[in-house]
Amino acid sequence: MNGVQLLLIIFGGITVSAVAHRRGAQPGLVVVILAAAASFIPGVPRLELDSELILAVVVPPLLYSATRGASGSSFAANLRPILTLGVTLVVITTGVTGWVASLLLPAIGLQAALVLGAVLAPPDTITTVSHGEALGLPRRVTAILTGESLVNDATALTLFSLAVAATGAGHTLFDNGFVLFLYNAVTGIVIGGLLAIATLWLRKRLHDPVLETSVSLLLPFTAFLLAEQVHASGILAVVVAAFSVSINTALDKRHQYPGAYRSRLQEDTVWPVVDFLLETFVFAYIGLQLRFVVQSLASSDTLLRTVVAAAVILATVIVFRLGAVSAAFAWWGLRRRRREQRVETDPRARAHWERRLRWRARRGRKRPVLGEPTPKEALIVGWTGMRGILTLAAAAAVPEHLHDGAPFPGRDEIQAIALLVTLGTLLIQGTTIPMLVRRLRIDIAAEREQEAALLATGVAIVAAAGPDFDAQRDALARAVYEETLDDATARSLIHDVDLRQAADGTRV
């Protein structure tokens, strides 16, 4: 790919996105469809990027930006469904998809089929989540999908490494999958945390919004590449670094300093631009591969078999996710009802539950224990299973040869199926999510009232703090610590305080 092609793709994506916005469509999906159609225009060259370039240049900033906007309190409150979807479901999906692929494509073998399973296991729901408020998604659904996207990539990449090594084409530090996952997770978390500490220390001493924003832009790449260098999870390193830096720069008094508000405002302006440019390129890149994948399969006489396999696997990943999510959420509901029955009928169970509530009260926790998601919420979460750039990047990262020099079994089929399934999920699920949400008619009026009440509480806290901007931010941070406000509401109000301070500083 040359520079002119890259610029043309981005400018074309800007134009398409502008039209899509006016017509109320999701720009990314429109870009995918038009790019796929454009790939069949005679003379259109194939755009090829090294898989390592995609993973190292595209994934880290998109993940970092998504994490910056995530709510830490919502993540913690929905930890069980997030880990269930981001870890357990990814592992099971890898196995199920790999087994189906091995039946459809017996020539590639079970090990290579599991590689395909790992490639297709992680959904990419960030694009949907970014439009969650416009779609009318319940806040809890948005929190679960966001948290899942921040966890499932690390799980899938670990499984991918194990599956590739099992075929005889790669190597891992540990043969034991659990030990490897533990090493990847712990080491990635440690690296992300250490880099966050270093970044927070450095930002306080730069005293320049341009320099601080530059550090912010470099952090996701540094975290990802450093973790990958020691064979740890670059995904988790980026997530931890983003969480730590964004929350501390907004809510921790120790990391407040004169002029910090200018850096926060500048970053809040820069990162959406980075998101848009990268997402536009990614969706265009996905669509522009279609003709060349079809031609490659046609030349090897495997086109029909691969297309049929892709269709079956597409149906498998969609149906399996729907069933698995619904079953998991229903099981939690059954357990809750059984627990409530035991509390009513069994004195020991009632005493245990009362001790738990007293423990929470002593810890000062005001946030109630959340119940399981409703069936309507489960349906939305289950249907939001679009595959994205990580699937394509992992497919491109499949080695060309085994250690003995033999071709990697089914490499062309794996890459073709990954592209076709990604396009299929984007077109089938991505285009129908708005309609699904409308048809379900989920009543979020109470949720909006609660959000309005929290916002009113935050506004009162700001007013009570007096005219000093630093005092207003400190009061909001204390409210989060005391669980009077959640961090999302507090950070939104801090952004307003930053804007007022910036406007006050520009008055003549």
Ordered alpha helix ranges (H), 23-138: 27-38, 51-53, 59-68, 72-77, 79-83, 89-104, 109-120, 126-130, 132-135
In the chain, which residues fall in CATH 1.20.1530.20? 3-126+134-333+369-428
What confidence score (pLDDT) does residue 311 get?
95
What confidence score (pLDDT) does residue 408 get?
86
Sign of CA dihedral 492, 496, 499, 501: negative
What confidence score (pLDDT) does residue 371 get?
56
What is the number of residues in the chain?
508
Three-point CA angle 204, 247, 28, nearest 5°: 115
Contacting residues for 313 by C-beta, under 8 A, at least 6 apart: 97, 100, 101, 104, 116, 120, 417, 421
pLDDT below 50 — which residues of the chain? 368-369, 508
Q: Which fold has domain 3-126+134-333+369-428?
A: Na+/H+ antiporter like fold (1.20.1530)
Q: CB atoms < 10 A from the CB of 436, how many?
A: 15
CA distance 97 to 116: 8
What confidence score (pLDDT) does residue 506 get?
59
CA distance 271 to 3: 22
What confidence score (pLDDT) does residue 237 get?
93
Q: H helices then E strands: how many in the chain?
A: 25, 0
Instruction: Please report, for residues 33, 91, 126, 148, 154, the alpha-carbon distance to residue 79 in angstroms, rounded to integers and kept in the order given.
Output: 35, 17, 18, 9, 16
What confidence score (pLDDT) does residue 96 get?
95
pTM: 0.82
Residue with tokens 């225009």: 41
What confidence score (pLDDT) does residue 368 get?
47
**Beta-bridge mates of residue 67:** none
